Amino acid sequence: MTARYPIAIAGVLLSLFSVAGAGLVAVTHVATAERIAQNERQALLDRLAVLVPAERVTNDMAGDTIVVSDRERLGADRTTVYRARAGDAPVALILTAVVPDGYAGPINLLVAVLADGTLGGVRVVSHKETPGLGDKIEEQRTDWIHGFAGKSLSNPDPAHWKVKRDGGDFDQFTGATVTPRAIVKAVKNTLLYVKEKGNALYAPVESTQARSLVGGTG
């Protein structure tokens, strides 16, 4: 390498290394993309399956989705609804509801509502609540979140869908009332939303009429 145009040589060298590096990354990406997508799908399915009577479900829950919008009750402009069916019969809806008023920002939930209106279960997907206090909503820390399974708008009645400190039926945590209060409210709102929309939420995705019906508000 003569030093006539050192900077040009340096530039070419750098480009060559960049191309080689990008090539290596591209090859790895192609080799792993399918497996990564499969992993993510499996992780989603695992999360959904514990919330519904999985043995009755015959369809592909992770693939049978619609997107609805109701900021007022579901906490976000885009809420994904996974639909579980047994043949043609509805089994459950799982909504990615957002708790807008957590103590430290929004809390992402998965709320499963069975076809008869009772809750299949609720799980916290992500949150920023205080470690040691608000994070007791995590399944790994306490059983609190399991308390929602089997509840519905008639059990307890809507007036008791509150934490105990507010005269309701749900436990709060010592030192952390805001978090459970916000979650109880969000779960109740989700139940109200599902009750109002009824079977329209199970409508096949192919039907454009159903799309406009459930996606219209907002």
Partner 1 sequence: MADISYAKIVRDGLWNNNQALVALLGLCPLLATTTSATNGLGMGIATTAVLLLSNVTVSLIRRLVRPEVRIPVFVVVIASFVTIVELLMKAYFPELYKVLGIFVALIVVNCTILGRAEAFASKNPLGASAMDGLSIGIGSTAALVTLGGLRELVGQGTLFAQAHLMLGDWARVLELEVGEGFHGALAAILPPGAFIGLGFLIALKNVIDKRAARRTEAVPVAPPQPAKAG
Q: Whole-number minimum distance, CB 35 to partner 1, in Å?
A: 4
Q: Nearer to partner 1 by C-beta: 8 or 159?
A: 8
Choose the binding region for partner 1 from 10-18, 48-56, 99-107, 142-150 (rule: CB under 8 A).
10-18
Binding of partner 1 by 39 (CB under 8 A): yes
- Cα–Cα distance for residue pair 189/184, rounded to 1 Å: 9
Q: Whole-number minimum distance, CB 156 to partner 1, in Å?
A: 31
Percentages (nearest 5) of helix, strand, coil residues in the chain? 45, 20, 35
Q: Nearer to partner 1 by C-beta: 17 or 195?
A: 17
Residues in the interface with partner 1 (CB under 8 A) total 25
Q: Nearer to partner 1 by C-beta: 5 or 218?
A: 5
- 3-state SS class at 107: strand
Region label for 48, one of left (φ > 0), alpha (ψ between -120 and 50) or beta (otherwise): alpha
Choose the binding region for partner 1 from 27-35, 71-79, 154-162, 196-204 (rule: CB under 8 A).
27-35
Q: Nearer to partner 1 by C-beta: 13 or 89?
A: 13
Residues 6+ apart with CB under 8 A from 81: 65, 66, 67, 68, 93, 94, 95, 96, 201
- What token pair was written down for 96? 């990615």
CA distances, 212 to each of 70, 93, 104, 108 (Å): 13, 18, 34, 25
Contacting partner 1 within 119-148 (CB under 8 A): 131-132
Among 5, 32, 78, 218, binds partner 1 (CB under 8 A): 32
DSSP letter at 1 equals -
* Residue ranges in contact with partner 1 by CB under 8 A: 1, 6-7, 9-11, 13-14, 17-18, 20-22, 24-25, 28-29, 32, 35-36, 39-40, 43, 131-132
